[in-house]
Chain A
Amino acid sequence: MAEVLRAVNLQQVYAARQGLFQKSLSVHALNGVSFSLNAGETLAVVGESGCGKSTLARALTLIETPSAGELWLAGELVDTQKKPEAALRQRIQMVFQNPYGSLNPRKTIQQMLEEPLLLNTQLSREQRRQAVSTMMERVGLRPEFAERYPHMFSGGQRQRIAIARALMLKPQVVVLDEPVSALDLSVRAQILNLLTELQQDLGLAYVFISHDLSVVQRIADAVMVMYFGRAVEYADAKTIFSHPQHPYTQALFSATPVAEVGEKRERIHLQGEPPSPLHPPPGCPFGPRCAYVQAICRQQLPHLRTLNQAWVACVRAEAINASSLPNTSAKSLLHSHAPP
């Protein structure tokens, strides 16, 4: 399938002022992230808060200019220094985590959904109305509701509206920033199904940002695990879930609770919390929390390298995986449940 999105060594550096008279420190929110995404596929970006997921989303949707790196959209190099043109913007859209904050409370659904058309196309009023009506039906909303305000809808319906808005311009790529984590359990499955259905019908490529591994496993084709602004492991979903290689990935998988009673999985205990971005540790950023850390980890920054069909940023990956320590942890997540 055709590649629709490629990021090469994306970086985002913010200046953080410490105090009035201290010199400002630079914070690498995004530190050399690269990936490629084909039409109809889903790349899941997994990580904990502060790992750079949201910064990546902002860079991909052209809201923020990355400090360095290249972004290719449908084979075209995006000039990130320039204000993005309509034609470019139409190709990549976004759905936010919280459907209560992402819809303008003072606008009707009609106004919200037609805004992309109003700004980017020359469609007439009637054509826009028609397009909104079609799209609402497409995402499972009654078109009669177009004149209503967001507060009259439930969380799940709001997320449908947000998805509809993202699709109004017929994008090729949609960045989904935790699209179901603010939703109730029973609604979550409805929205996930809608996303799958839309992807199949429209050939959309998804960048699916999430911390929920059970959801990721369900819908991702490829997974990128991020830690401290870097990708620590990047592989297709089958490989990474059956055989996570980076110690952080392993810890993350084993920490995820699984709705299954019975065999207690061996849990990798992660000590502490991610380091402060103002004072990054020397060498591997995961070093201070890693159970397998050795002197070499503190000396050099590990770069992504291929290892058993995956990209892994760990100098000791082979040694770790050769040892008998519990990398089986993810298995129970994968082949978890057979229907009764």
Chain B
Amino acid sequence: MSLLTVRNLSVAFPTQNGWFQAVEGIYLEVKAGEVVAIVGESGSGKSVAMLAVMNLLPPTARISCDELKLDGQDVLTMPPKQRRQLNGGTVAMIFQEPMSSLNPCFTIGYQIDETLRIHLGGSKKERIERSLHLLDLVGIPDPKRRYQAYPHQMSGGMSQRAMIAMALAANPKLLIADEPTTALDVTVQAQILELLLKLQQTQGMGLILITHDMGVVAETAQQVVVQYAGQQVEKQQVAGLFKTPHHPYTAALLDALPERAPAGDFLPTIPGIVPGQKDRPIGCLFSPRCQHAQALCHEQQPLLQALPSRQAAWLRCHYPLNLTTEAVDG
């Protein structure tokens, strides 16, 4: 059974010049034990979509969705109180900046205990035991001492571990990690990613990893969704995406990576910038920057369609790339 089902999710924000469509027609399905990466540049709506799933957007946001199910429960028709219970219980989220996600006024122990109190209950002694166990689980040395530490006494890596411990407190079935390692150093990033994957496997959690780092995607994810300007443009298995990207945007993005670009002094680039609210094209949103764009691309927006030959692969493009070579590699 899938942990998360999202069908046709759109989010718009009011601005001075009318509504800004931050997310448009998102579909997502996450099963237990699956790692799904959502990749995109800033402004691609990857965080907004997940915040909408978590019901964490400001009330001014206009959200529309055909179906939103968490662990088989229909979230859309749920009373608010019950909906809140899901957060932290069934689904948990960790954020980019561990330093600012932790409340500086309270000890780590207190903040973990708070989650436990809300979702699991139990006696004070049981909760402390569970907290210490959690701190140990996420690899924080000397949990007893750290239990009483304040966030400012811990390094970035340790704070992120503490955040993960908090997120895991109530045994969530789905964990959404929004750029969990972007603010961290490379060696610490490796530790945290490994920890997330290990926990995901041992606990059988579903994991949604929001990131802009293709390297992180390649090494951790099973399914990859690529977003551009609020739309999903491509979804594939990770191996297929990196080997045979079908959407020109994915292909161009991969080509522009310094480690993948062909040898030579200059890197292939994507001309122009992501369209904003005012210069949204009529046709395909990527068409002004696309090398393969044709007349149709500028006139008509392509629809999200399944690729029949691939399992659970979608694409939003009139003229997909690499489809002929597809049969060759499995």
Contacts and interface: CB of A to CB of B under 8 A. Distances in A.
A215 interface: yes
B259 A217 contact: yes
A213 B189 CA distance: 14
A258 B239 contact: no
A261 B218 contact: yes
B190 A187 contact: no
A267 to B, nearest CB: 7
A190 B269 contact: yes
A11 B107 CA distance: 38
24 contacts: A48-B187, A49-B185, A184-B274, A185-B214, A186-B253, A189-B270, A192-B258, A193-B266, A196-B266, A197-B266, A214-B259, A215-B258, A217-B259, A259-B257, A260-B259, A261-B239, A264-B219, A267-B190, A270-B190, A270-B191, A273-B155, A273-B158, A336-B259, A337-B261
A9 interface: no
Interface string B257-289: 111111001111111011000000000000001
A189 B239 CA distance: 23
Most chain B CB neighbours (cut-off 10 Å) among A189, A192, A212, A256: A189
Contacts of B239: 261-262
Most chain A CB neighbours (cut-off 10 Å) among B41, B214, B239, B259: B259
Contacts of B270: 186, 189-190
Nearest to B241: A261
A214 B215 contact: yes
A200 interface: yes
B257 A186 contact: no
Nearest to B271: A190
B20 interface: no
Interface of B: 41-42, 141, 155-158, 185-191, 193-194, 212-219, 238-239, 242-243, 252-254, 256-262, 265-271, 273-274, 289
B218 A270 contact: no
Interface in A37-74: 48-49
A211 B182 CA distance: 12
Nearest to B42: A184
A315 interface: no
B256 A185 contact: yes
Contact of B218 (A155, A218, A258, A339): A258
Contact of B212 (A48, A185, A257, A269): A185
Contacts of A259: 214-215, 217-218, 242, 254, 257, 259-260
A176 B213 CA distance: 21
B215 A200 contact: no
Nearest to B242: A261
Interface in A316-340: 333, 336-339
A138 B254 CA distance: 27
Interface of A: 48-49, 154-156, 184-190, 192-193, 196-197, 200, 211-215, 217-219, 251-252, 254-262, 264, 267, 269-270, 272-273, 333, 336-339
Most chain B CB neighbours (cut-off 10 Å) among A48, A190, A257, A338: A257
For the complex of A and B, the 3 pairs showing the least CB-CB separation, nearest first, are: A257-B215, A259-B214, A48-B185
A217 B273 CA distance: 26
Nearest to A216: B258
B269 A186 contact: yes
Nearest to B237: A261
A204 to B, nearest CB: 14
A259 B39 CA distance: 12
A186 B267 contact: no
A191 to B, nearest CB: 9
Given A193-B267, A338-B262, 7 more contacts: A184-B212, A186-B270, A255-B187, A255-B190, A260-B259, A267-B190, A272-B141
B218 A187 contact: no
Contacts of A214: 215, 257-259
Contacts of B238: 261
A252 B186 contact: yes
A255 B191 CA distance: 9
Given A186-B256, A214-B258, A336-B259, A251 B267 contact: no
A258 B190 CA distance: 12
Contact of B261 (A189, A252, A254, A255): A189
Nearest to A259: B214
Contacts of A155: 42
Nearest to B41: A184
A155 B257 CA distance: 18
Given A190-B269, A273-B155, A258 B258 contact: no
Nearest to A153: B273
A155 B289 CA distance: 17
A130 to B, nearest CB: 28
